[in-house]
Amino acid sequence: MSFESSLSRAIFSSRERLTKVLRDNKGRYSISRDGHVSLNLNDAEVVKPIVRQIEIFGDTEERRKNE
């Protein structure tokens, strides 16, 4: 298998995944003409995973480079 065909398949696969995610989440986001993506934060199903991620990272401490 050549690199080119592998890359082509990966791009196609990525495109399919993106299409599926966009379809599955219709109404939970909007995309402006210039490509800006906004989430519908009035939808509880949108907010739930965000809250989960905040809880997961809530105990994370910041470390500076020089420490």
pLDDT for 13 equals 82
Q: How distant, in Å, are the alpha carbons of 5, 48, 51, 62 from that of 44?
A: 41, 6, 10, 29
Q: What is the mean pLDDT of residues 32-58?
A: 92
pTM, two decimal places: 0.54
Q: 3-state SS of the chain: helix, strand, coil percent to 5?
A: 55, 10, 35
Which one, of 14, 46, 15, 13, lies nearest residue 37 by Cα?
A: 46
Instruction: Give the start-to-end residue ranges of the domains of the chain.
Output: 3-57
